[in-house]
Amino acid sequence: MAAAAVLAGCAGQATGTPDAPAAKSPAATSSVRAPAGSTPDGTLLVADFGGDTVTFVDPERGAFDRVEVGAAPYGLVVGADGRAWVATAEGVAVVDTRTRTRLARIPYATETGPVTTGEYRGGGMGIALAPDGRHVYVGVNVPDTEGVLEVIDTGTREVTGTAPVGRRPFDVDVSPDGDEVYATGHDSFDVTSVRTDTLRTRRTEVAPYGTEGGLGSWLKPHYAAVRPADGKLLLPFEGERLAVLDPRTGEVTVEPMTANTHQHGATTAPDGTLLVVGTGPIASDDEEASLTVRKPDGTERVIGLDGPHEDVAVSADGRTAYVTGGFTRDGYWNGITVVDLAGKKDPVRLAAGERPLGIAVL
């Protein structure tokens, strides 16, 4: 891939052009009956960035229910108690996933401007839950300036603190011990580490291609995953380079990757395998969309996907990945691709949600 700056899409500032329309599929379908009683384990929950709902999805049959949460929901996280925390343009919604009802919507302490939709909208983006479940951390985008990390007490459902972070915090992650939170600043080429006890911050540049392209560059960090073995952050770039950040020292090392495509969502399986979503080409020599399966020893297998995708979650047994088709840029589709990580079955597409971005397995 040519490491060139491009002035469009997720690269930089909004151009004033609205998102291109896409064919919409219903977030819930009449062909899949909602289960009686509590929501079954293994159900998928997706944030409908193109609407104002989260959609509940049977991983074999498709969408069966939805709950209104607020405009343009982006990231979401689910606790052991079954409550989902959803970052929307209007605040963080709290959803009881067992009864499929919204319990609350917590307004941001930060002024983010008028409620809008699309990739550059103000409001919550990345979101994470503390290991003990007592706090939620949400990265709030403030258009045209630096972002803010807001801390929510899950008991009182109130914002209890804020800390400055980088521009457009695509992703938020928590250290295994819960002592630090990491906000990935897409438009500032950095990761901000925030101490959870004092909210003191330190910022580390993560830019294996450099920062010369500025706001117009494609070559920025998007999503990160915390490596279970040592707590280091793994940040994929363009299917070519994996930046490995030691957040305690600020040291960044770079390892090769093989997918050669623009990359967004990342997560780790229980055994430490890294899963990375390739969104599809942004340059003429890029490969199509894919899912990279990277073992802890660095060996990779690249699974082709049909059309753009954004984020990924993995089943509890580590055997299946679920990849959302929402995509922050134009060209998204309304569904999820189910990927057998053993490679014994071909990927299967499910119609689900409305431009689904964030995803969790219940």
Q: Confirm whether 127 is domain-assigned.
A: yes
Burial of 16 (0-12, 13-18, 19+ CB in 10 A): exposed
d(Cα 49, Cα 70) in Å, to the nearest integer? Answer: 10
Strand, coil or helix: what is 188?
helix
Q: Which of 164, 213, 225, 162 is nearest to 187 (CA)?
A: 213
Number of domains in the chain: 1
Q: Confirm whether 10 is domain-assigned.
A: no
d(Cα 101, Cα 44) in Å, to the nearest integer? Answer: 15
Which residue has tokens 């929501």? Answer: 39
**Span 175-197, pLDDT tens digits:** 999 999 999 999 999 999 999 99
Which pTM value belongs to this model? 0.92
Q: Confirm whether 33 is domain-assigned.
A: no
Q: Confirm whether 5 is domain-assigned.
A: no
Which residues constitute the domain of residue 70? Answer: 40-361
Average pLDDT by consecutive 10-residue portion of the chain (362 residues)?
A: 38 38 38 83 97 97 97 98 98 98 98 96 98 98 98 98 98 97 98 98 97 90 97 97 96 98 96 96 87 97 96 97 92 96 94 97 98
Q: Confirm whether 27 is domain-assigned.
A: no
**Span 137-169, pLDDT tens digits:** 999 999 999 999 999 999 999 999 999 999 999
d(Cα 137, Cα 194) in Å, to the nearest integer? Answer: 10
d(Cα 278, Cα 275) in Å, to the nearest integer? Answer: 10
Q: What are φ and ψ of residue 186, in 5° steps?
A: -60, -50
Q: What are φ and ψ of residue 187, in 5° steps?
A: -85, 0
Q: Confirm whether 318 is domain-assigned.
A: yes
pLDDT of residue 27: 41
Q: What is the DSSP string of 87-136?
A: E-SS-EEEEETTTTEEEEEEPPSS---S---STT-SEEEEEEE-TTSSEE
Q: Any idea what the CATH number is for the domain that residue 153 is in?
A: 2.130.10.10
Which residue has tokens 């560059």? Answer: 217
> CB count, 10 Å around CB of 115?
15
Q: Confirm whether 60 is domain-assigned.
A: yes
